Amino acid sequence: MKPTNPRLAKKHTKAPKKTLGEFIIENQNQFGYSTGELSRLLNAIKLASKAVNHEVNKAGLVDIIGSTNQINHSNEEQQKLDVFANQVFKRALINRQIVCGFASEEEDDFVVISSSKNNSQNNYVILIDPLDGSSNIDTNASVGTIFSIYRRVTSSDKPVSESDFLQKGINQVAAGYILYGTSTMLVYTTGFGVNGFTLNPALGTFYLSHPNMKYPSSGNIYSINEGNYFHFPKGIKKYIKYCQENKNGRPYTSRYIGSLVSDFHRNLIKGGVYLYPSTLKNPNGKLRLLYECNPIAFLSEQAGGAATNGKGRILEISTEELHQRTPFYCGNKAMVKEIDNFLKLS
């Protein structure tokens, strides 16, 4: 008999990958309030994301691409998949009665969810961007879902109010995204690092594929819609020219998908920075603080990066309204610092 190849033997003894369900249960004791409520909530997100993934994969075959001819609160055209994804997440969370409030890019106002299970209300509110990068759907490019979770601040014997949603980003207890890309991934944090799970479509199960995600120590990608160049603040125009200079490891590489989730995910893995500055058309930028910037900023910081609005930390911005916008710079710490310096000096 041939001697066993030690490389193959090692392969066979490799521990099986952990499923997302197992990981959630194993880590639920990290919370101050480990009642299992947050675990159930993450499981509901997992389930809804599979339903959205299924539909996104069929786009082009069934009548799900294109516009609804309606506009949302931010004055943007709603796509059919925006509305579908919103309904799927809303139903998954409402039917399971695991949150006391729901807010979404696709809803004008927050939704109060009362629990009929017992007299006490649930303790968490969720804010979501059900389909991020929806202008990409018609072209079969990657889209995502972003979510942000807070523990309510009002008394749990009353229905939720606006103050439960308008909390600063630093109060988030969990945040994450689903990327419907070449493969489908769910990436999230509860403040103890960032972990990424890849969906095995044959089994319908997410497996831990990217444990403890961190930005590389340096980066060379910048992601910005340069078509708006003439409408950008002076500091950003200078920064773009700096990125293009042939000096000290530059020019940097320019990559922009137009889907925050996809652009952020690439920059997290390869090392880079995402910019959506103020423009003449959108003086406060375009991205929404509560369900786009705060959750992505939380993930960025947990992965060793940073996120600012050019003046300060995104997670410390005071919130005034549900659909509030902010300029957004997010990625490798050193690169975000460079941008902040360009903005300060201009």
Q: Which residues of this chain interact with Mn ion, rule CB under 5 A?
A: 105, 129, 131-132
Decide which of ligand AHG, Mn ion, none touches 286; Cβ closer than 5 to 8 Å per partner kind. ligand AHG
Cα–Cα distance between 191 and 170 in angstroms, integer?
Answer: 10
CA-to-CA separations, 5 to 1, 10, 12, in angstroms, rounded: 12, 9, 11
Decide which of ligand AHG, Mn ion, none touches 258; Cβ closer than 5 to 8 Å per partner kind. ligand AHG
Tell which one of 172, 259, 300, 326 touches ligand AHG (CB under 6 A): 259
Phi first, then psi: what are they for 94, rounded to 5°? -70, -45
Instruction: Verify binding: residue 106, ligand AHG, rule CB under 6 A.
Output: no
The upper half-sphere exposure of residue 217, i.e. CA atoms within 13 Å in the direction of its Cβ, equals 0
The upper half-sphere exposure of residue 329, i.e. CA atoms within 13 Å in the direction of its Cβ, equals 24
Minimal distance in Å, beta carbon 74 to Mn ion? 9
Minimal distance in Å, beta carbon 129 to ligand AHG? 5
The residue assigned the tokens 């375009």 is 286
The enclosing H or E element of 222 equals strand 221-223
Where in 132-151 is the site for ligand AHG (CB under 6 A)? 132-134
Binding part of the chain for ligand AHG, among 89-97, 163-171, 236-244, 253-261 by CB under 6 A, reads 253-261
Minimal distance in Å, beta carbon 134 to Mn ion? 5
DSSP letter at 251 equals: S
Tell which one of 19, 225, 284, 324 touches ligand AHG (CB under 6 A): 225
Minimal distance in Å, beta carbon 157 to Mn ion? 34
Site string for ligand AHG, 148-187 (x = CB under 6 A): ----------------------------------------
CA-to-CA separations, 237 to 115, 234, 244, 326, in angstroms, rounded: 51, 5, 11, 18
Tell which one of 37, 55, 76, 77 touches ligand AHG (CB under 6 A): 76
Phi first, then psi: what are they for 154, rounded to 5°? -85, 165
The smaller minimum CB distance to Mn ion, of residues 164 and 292, is found at: 292
Instruction: Verify binding: residue 258, ligand AHG, rule CB under 6 A.
Output: yes
Residues in the chain: 346
Decide which of ligand AHG, Mn ion, none touches 76; Cβ closer than 5 to 8 Å per partner kind. ligand AHG
Alpha helices in the chain (DSSP H): 6-13, 20-26, 37-58, 80-95, 162-165, 234-244, 260-270, 294-302, 333-345
Instruction: Verify binding: residue 129, ligand AHG, rule CB under 6 A.
Output: yes
Q: Which residues of 239-273 are buried (b: 16+ CB within 10 A; e: fewer)?
A: bbebbeeeeeeeebeebbbebbbbbbbbbbeebbb
Instruction: Verify binding: residue 286, ligand AHG, rule CB under 6 A.
Output: yes
The residues that touch ligand AHG, with contacts defined as CB under 6 A, are: 76, 105, 129, 132-134, 225, 258-260, 263, 286
